[in-house]
Amino acid sequence: MRLRFHRSLDDLNEKLLVMAGMAEQAIQRAVEAYRVRDLSICDLVDRGEVAINRIEREIDQMALDLLAMEQPMAIDLRFTLAVIKINADLERVGDSARNISDRVRDLQRLPQVEVPVDIPRMGSLATGMVRKSIQAFIEADADMAESVLTMDDNVDKLNSLAHTSVLAMMKEKPEFASQALHVLMIARSLERVADHATNVAEDVIFWVRGADVRHHVREADSAVAGESISPN
Amino acid sequence: MRLRFHRSLDDLNEKLLVMAGMAEQAIQRAVEAYRVRDLSICDLVDRGEVAINRIEREIDQMALDLLAMEQPMAIDLRFTLAVIKINADLERVGDSARNISDRVRDLQRLPQVEVPVDIPRMGSLATGMVRKSIQAFIEADADMAESVLTMDDNVDKLNSLAHTSVLAMMKEKPEFASQALHVLMIARSLERVADHATNVAEDVIFWVRGADVRHHVREADSAVAGESISPN
């Protein structure tokens, strides 16, 4: 029984890592599609999004089965809930990749023009945050998860810089406003990816630190029960 | 024991409705702040966001306690997981309200100019979707939840229209590009609210229809177990 339980937890963990890898790759591909203006990479991103959506449902089902059949306690319960929440964020990273890919297609239909926003750098920061938040999850490392929250400030700064540069360009060369706007929207999609990584990091912190708290009071279950289901 | 269990479920349900009401109100206020350019309403939105964040954590804790102590089965388990996911989406509706409020502040610092985007209409559609998705949740009505998915198309259309109008304005009057961009970002925040309502609706469908499926096979638990924990 416990063996099956731990195998289920391991399976869930492994599947979430596959999902995280796919989400990270989706963003890298979308940024690459932008950088080299290659629509065949956009197709890959779009197909990848379908696969990500499917795996999201599979993970939800696995987590649900695990909760229903194994009724995990304390830290394992928190772990399972963290997986469910992280899963939802990773799926939306896939959506962001798809949005970027749509914008690259729009850009391709317009005269090419240099827009002064460093999309590859923002992309690399955002995927770095996704990677690190998942690393923190794998290692159950709340401190590492906290470092992701700091990284988010850098992405916000770059995004704010993008906003300023794009506005200046729009005023100077209004005939290229469409291109500038598409690039700004790509920057915002990357900012959303960073937000999702931040959410993942917060879930890791809640799981690890919350679990620690629970762990200490496990011996005094009934007291905790009385305390934590107290009225609002 | 069952009595306490149902009281916990009811408490959780009730708290989520409070949260939903706060999220809906946050958007209405943010749109009103935009409409009448009143920064004191922005302050209300900002304070509301803090309250929404707090209640999000309370709901998560209640759900966790319920899972740990009552170990709900089948439909009640799906309900609890739906609450956890809906909770996360409602919190992000609060974030969107905050983003709108920030943009209204930015706009206030600039010369006022008419931007041809019907923000009040988009706001009313988006809050309507939030309301209906929660209504579907209250009534466990998957058909009603599906109607929310259709409403999302209208918001997307309005957003795409906003994009076109704003671009035209930027080309014609580049000196007002900043104002136009802020308004477009408000439109996009409302589109995100609509996306979150769509997520809520999808969770309701998963809960209601998935629960139905589970209900039918509950008698044959072991067969289901073998099937649904199968390898990836």
Average pLDDT over residues A17-41: 97
pLDDT at position B1: 57
CA atoms within 13 A on the CB side of B122: 30
pLDDT at position A1: 57
Query: A interface mutation test: which of B3, B64, B227 has the most A CBs within 10 A?
Result: B64
Closest partner residue to B73 (CB to CB) among A58, A68, A225 is A68
CA torsion sign, A163 to A167 to A173 to A176?
positive
Query: A interface mutation test: which of B8, B170, B200, B214 has the most A CBs within 10 A?
Result: B170
pLDDT at position A55: 94
Element (H, E) at A57: helix A39-70
pTM of the model: 0.86
Phi and psi (nearest 5°) for B212?
A: -60, -45
Tell me the chain B residues in contact with residue A51 when contact means C-beta distances shorter than 8 Å: none
Question: Going by C-beta distance under 8 Å and a sequence separation of 6 or more, which residues neighbour residue A200?
Answer: A86, A89, A90, A130, A133, A134, A137, A148
Partner-chain contact B174 A174, CB within 8 Å:
yes
Least reliable range by pLDDT among A27-41, A179-193, A201-215 = A201-215
Closest CA to A197 of A99, A97, A98, A86: A86
pLDDT at position A213: 43
Closest CA to B93 of B63, B54, B128, B130: B130
Partner-chain contact B71 A71, CB within 8 Å:
yes
pLDDT at position B221: 41
Residue A105 near residue A36, CB atoms below 8 Å: no
Written as six digits, the tokens of B44 are: 């209300």
pLDDT at position A215: 38
Determine the distance in angstroms separating the CA of A73 from the nearest CA of chain B, rounded to an integer.
6
Q: List chain B residues with pLDDT less than 50.
A: 212-232
pLDDT at position A175: 94
DSSP string, A6-48: HHHHHHHHHHHHHHHHHHHHHHHHHHHHHHHT-HHHHHHHHHH
pLDDT digits (tens, 9 = 90+) for A126-145: 999 999 999 999 999 999 99
Tell me the chain A residues in contact with residue B81 when contact means C-beta distances shorter than 8 Å: 60, 63-64, 67, 84
Give this complex's ipTM: 0.83
Dist CA A70 CA A53 (whole Å): 26
Determine the distance in angstroms separating the CA of B102 from the nearest CA of chain A, rounded to an integer.
13
Dist CA A182 CA A119 (whole Å): 12
pLDDT at position A231: 38
Tell me the chain A residues in contact with residue B66 when contact means C-beta distances shorter than 8 Å: 229
Determine the distance in angstroms separating the CA of B46 from the nearest CA of chain A, rounded to an integer.
19
Dist CA A191 CA A22 (whole Å): 18
Partner-chain contact B11 A66, CB within 8 Å:
no
Closest partner residue to A58 (CB to CB) among B63, B77, B232 is B232
pLDDT digits (tens, 9 = 90+) for B72-91: 887 888 899 999 999 999 99
CA B80 to chain centre: 17
Written as six digits, the tokens of B100 are: 């709108």
CATH numbers and ranges of domains, chain A: 2-228 (1.20.58.220)
Query: A interface mutation test: which of B173, B186, B229, B232 has the most A CBs within 10 A?
Result: B229
Tell me the chain B residues in contact with residue A58 when contact means C-beta distances shorter than 8 Å: 232
Partner-chain contact A65 B167, CB within 8 Å:
no
Tell me the chain A residues in contact with residue B60 when contact means C-beta distances shorter than 8 Å: 81, 206
Closest partner residue to B68 (CB to CB) among A77, A84, A181 is A77
pLDDT digits (tens, 9 = 90+) for A89-108: 999 999 999 999 999 999 99
The 3 state secondary structure assigned to chain B is: CHHHHHHHHHHHHHHHHHHHHHHHHHHHHHHHHHHHCCHHHHHHHHHHHHHHHHHHHHHHHHHHHHHHHHCCCHHHHHHHHHHHHHHHHHHHHHHHHHHHHHHHHHHHCCCCCCCCCCHHHHHHHHHHHHHHHHHHHHCCCHHHHHHHHHHHHHHHHHHHHHHHHHHHHHHHCHHHHHHHHHHHHHHHHHHHHHHHHHHHHHHHHHHHHHHHHHHHHHHHHHHHHHHHCCCC
Residue A180 near residue A170, CB atoms below 8 Å: yes
Query: B interface mutation test: which of A69, A182, A214 has the most B CBs within 10 A?
Result: A69
Cα–Cα–Cα angle for B67, B72, B78, rounded to 5 degrees: 90
Partner-chain contact B232 A60, CB within 8 Å:
no
Dist CA B68 CA A230 (whole Å): 15
Q: Given a cut of 90, is residue A71 above it in pLDDT?
A: no
Tell me the chain B residues in contact with residue A11 when contact means C-beta distances shorter than 8 Å: 229, 231-232
Closest partner residue to A170 (CB to CB) among B15, B66, B177 is B177
pLDDT at position A223: 39
Q: What is the mean pLDDT of chain A?
A: 88
Determine the distance in angstroms separating the CA of A229 from the nearest CA of chain B, rounded to an integer.
6
CA atoms within 13 A on the CB side of A93: 37
Partner-chain contact B177 A181, CB within 8 Å:
no
pLDDT at position B8: 85
B111-145 CB burial, b ≥16 within 10 A, e <16? eeeebebebeebbebbbbbbebbbebbeeebbebb
Determine the distance in angstroms separating the CA of A86 from the nearest CA of chain B, rounded to an integer.
11
More confident of the two residues A211 and A117: A117
Closest CA to A49 of A99, A84, A87: A99
